[in-house]
Amino acid sequence: MMRNPTAACRWFLAIVSLALMVGGTAVTGCQQQEKVEAPAQVHTVTGLGDDAGKVAQERNLTPHDVVAALKTYMPSGRLDDYVMFASGGHSGQVLVIGVPSMRLLKVIGVFTPEPWQGWGTGSVATEAVLRAGDPSGRKTSWGDTHHPALSETDGAYDGQFLFIGDKANSRLAVIDLRDFETKQILANPLAMSSHGAAFVTPNTDYVVEGGQYATPLGVRYAPIEDYQKSYRGLVTFWKFDRQKGRIDRDKSFAMELPPYWQDLCDAGKLESDGWVFCNSFNTEMATGGIEKNQPPFEAGVSQRDMDYLHIINLKRAAEVAAAGKVETVNGFRYIPLQTSIAEQLLYFAPEPKSPHGVDVTPGGEYLVVAGKLDPHVTVYSMAKIKDAIAKQSFEKKDPYGVPLLKFDDVKEVQVELGLGPLHTQFDAQGYAYTTLFLDSAVARWSLGGAYQSKHSDPPWKLLTKLPVHYNVGHLAAAEGDTTTPNGKYLVAMDKWSIDRFQNVGPLLPQNFQLIDISQPGDRLQLLYDMPIGIGEPHYAQIVKADKLHSWEAYPEVGWDPHQQAKHASATVIGKERVERKGNRVEVWMTAVRSHFTPEHVEIRKGDHVVWHITNVERARDATHGFALPYYNINLSLEPGETDTIEFDADRDGAFSFYCSEFCSALHLEMAGYMLVKP
């Protein structure tokens, strides 16, 4: 075969190449056996085995308990199907909780400084958000968060933003759900307190803030004897600019209302789109004064059998405001009461006294008002309301001239549920759920009309009451206040827990109780108690987890979370520096596992220091803290984030700063010195 050397050479080449190929393939072939962990074997649970039975026996669990446990238990690494955003009450924060596991995922700093998130503990940007919300010149360091409202598109949660009101100071906050951080806090320029925030219109054009205790508009003084003349109620419509992720104060407006104590509101949808409903109490216009031998408020405001459901034509009100038929106080526009009456923006309907919630059914056809001091829920028909308004069929007018619709004209039905009905939510089976404060129970009742076909129960009828523990306030069903309620779970938010938890002293945790509402008829199952030891939550909303699309890390290194854009003073590795201009020292610092650069920051007493720190990490969860003692500073620098602190170095010394978030094995070593020369 080998006829000459050239041929031999060719053969050699061919063989070498083939060997290379075969060898290479073998090597690479081996490498492809990269170990991929097989998913854990799935054992089908057909009956609880001996082990499970033994545990149940030892722990004294009934079969019912075991089922509840199976419905809520999350193996490590399993994620919840729903996320609940709950008011944190007077903690001033928002709680984020996984459902059905009821695991606390986060406490979002809103009205109160929250050091872990670097919220209001030195960060210039977060301080600016908090200070913009100071209702007066006084630094306000708490809030009373009441009603969270997720942004909506077509009446369904879209998972983009969350709003929440502060009852104490009549404020509203905007939280961006890309990073779960508060971006804006506004103080209402007209009102002192507000209970009915926040509720959004179906496309989040407006965020509704209902009032509470009437005061002279613009936070002024007027003698209490002039209550009827000088004190006013209020509802505010904050215009939301979704593009900017901010409330546009200048396009927002309020409506002056009689000095009844407006309470919760709800925005109409579908059938009732363009309308807003708020209820009220103290239509008696009682002014209290128990010490002067006058009836105390609790009695004075509860004299009349009926208070007034406020029915507001928001669509037309926006047109009236746009037409300039407004007055301003503190630079904020409001439609005067008489203008509202003349422009037919406002109607009242009688409602059983001292009501609490007014909740619109998923299709917007009905409004459900819970009587609180009346054992019924009263269901109003939007069609009947529209009809009565069209016919101008009024019982009379209130003392301020607001037309009062006839109760029987607009009422659809009253359903007797029990004592102390407060709030109502809905599911996908045509059921409504109402909390009964005095009965300490959640009532399930059937809707009629368009909802009759969804269930096989008689319409408008109480089906069952599930005891809860205790003194239930709000409740939240999965997407239960939207056009597309999800059902499945409901959380009862109990004000008292009494004996449900380990005694932790006289201040007891609140109790969130998870209830399975997936079965029809009278079948409700209490699944789980979750103690809340941070404040007294009010309302909550539960959204499908897959609607939330939050960032795992900021989109790029040098991100300013407060502008959601590149930070003007971002630094990269190698560009860190300290510059002095007169007595103004500016620092550009980077943080990465496990060091700050620079580690020595040398300044002089009396310098004004502006200090930018960029976390250049890209890894998920690689957050660094920045703690500077004696200067009251702690930052949370999440991967990619740039944050700025600014202070006068009014105290000399050697100040050790350090990373306050355990970031790495050399976390303790992640430190430096700010050397302030006398």
Partner 1 sequence: MKARIRTALQYAERPALRATARAVVGPRVPAHELRRRPLRYWLPTLLLGAAAACLVASIFLPYWKLTLHAPQYPKGLHVHAYLDRMTGDVAEIDALNHYIGMRRLDEAARLERSLSIIAVSVIALLVAAAVFIHTRFAAYLSLPAALFPAAFLVDLQLWLRHFGTHLDPRAPLSQAIKPFVPPVLGQGFVGQFSTVARVEAGFHLALAATAAIAVGLYFHWRAYRPLAER
Residues that bind partner 1 (CB under 8 A): 6-7, 9-10, 13-14, 16-18, 20-21, 24-25, 27-28, 30-32, 34-35, 592-594, 617-619, 665-666, 669
Phi-psi domain of 248 (left: phi exceeds 0; alpha: psi -120 through 50; beta: other): beta
Of 32 and 41, the one with the shorter C-beta distance to partner 1 is 32
Spatial neighbors of 639 by CB under 8 A, at least 6 apart, are 553, 554, 615, 617, 618, 619, 620, 621, 622, 623
Q: Closest separation between CB of residue 115 and partner 1, Å? A: 24
Q: Closest separation between CB of residue 625 and partner 1, Å? A: 17
Residue listed under structure tokens 């992640």: 670
Of 29 and 47, the one with the shorter C-beta distance to partner 1 is 29
Of 18 and 55, the one with the shorter C-beta distance to partner 1 is 18
Of 6 and 502, the one with the shorter C-beta distance to partner 1 is 6
At residue 11, the 3 state secondary structure works out as helix
Of 411 and 624, the one with the shorter C-beta distance to partner 1 is 624
Q: Which residues of 576-600 are buried (b: 16+ CB within 10 A; e: fewer)?
A: bebeeeeeebbbbbbbbbbbbbbee
Q: Are 612 and 644 in contact (CB under 8 A)?
A: yes
Of 77 and 505, the one with the shorter C-beta distance to partner 1 is 77
Q: Are 348 and 402 in contact (CB under 8 A)?
A: yes
Spatial neighbors of 307 by CB under 8 A, at least 6 apart, are 260, 279, 280, 281, 282, 283, 350, 351, 352, 353, 354, 355
Q: Closest separation between CB of residue 557 and partner 1, Å? A: 9
Structure tokens at 71: 């419905």
Q: Closest separation between CB of residue 626 and partner 1, Å? A: 18
Q: Closest separation between CB of residue 27 and partner 1, Å? A: 6
Write the DSSP string, 622-644. --EEEEETTTTEEEEE-TTBEEE
Residue 234's nearest CA partner among 253, 247, 248 is 253
Of 31 and 503, the one with the shorter C-beta distance to partner 1 is 31
- Residue 581's Cβ-side half-sphere holds a number of Cα atoms within 13 Å equal to 3
Q: Are 198 and 192 in contact (CB under 8 A)?
A: no
Q: Closest separation between CB of residue 80 and partner 1, Å? A: 18
Of 16 and 79, the one with the shorter C-beta distance to partner 1 is 16
Q: Closest separation between CB of residue 621 and partner 1, Å? A: 8
Of 522 and 621, the one with the shorter C-beta distance to partner 1 is 621
Q: Among the residues of 210-313, which ranges form H helices?
A: 227-230, 297-300
Q: How far apart are CA 266 and CA 367, in angstroms?
A: 9
Phi, psi angle pair for 616, to nearest 5°: -90, 10
Report DSSP state, residue 215. Answer: B
Of 192 and 591, the one with the shorter C-beta distance to partner 1 is 591
Q: Closest separation between CB of residue 33 and partner 1, Å? A: 9
Q: Is 507 exposed, middle or buried (0-12, 13-18, 19+ CB in 10 A)?
A: exposed
Q: Closest separation between CB of residue 200 and partner 1, Å? A: 36
Residue 187's nearest CA partner among 143, 243, 231 is 143
Q: How far apart are CA 440 and CA 472, in angstroms?
A: 6
Of 515 and 613, the one with the shorter C-beta distance to partner 1 is 613
Q: Closest separation between CB of residue 573 and partner 1, Å? A: 10
Q: Closest separation between CB of residue 617 and partner 1, Å? A: 7
Q: Closest separation between CB of residue 595 and partner 1, Å? A: 9
Of 525 and 594, the one with the shorter C-beta distance to partner 1 is 594
Of 37 and 225, the one with the shorter C-beta distance to partner 1 is 37
Write the DSSP string, 40-108. PPPPP-SS--HHHHHHHHHTT--HHHHHHHHHH---TTPPPSEEEEEE-BTT-SEEEEEETTTEEEEEE
Of 33 and 293, the one with the shorter C-beta distance to partner 1 is 33
Q: Closest separation between CB of residue 26 and partner 1, Å? A: 11
At residue 403, the 3 state secondary structure works out as strand
Q: Closest separation between CB of residue 17 and partner 1, Å? A: 3
Report DSSP state, residue 114. Answer: B
Q: How far apart are CA 160 and CA 93, in angstroms?
A: 18
User: Which amino acid does the sequence have at 230?
Assistant: S
Residue 632's nearest CA partner among 141, 181, 115 is 115
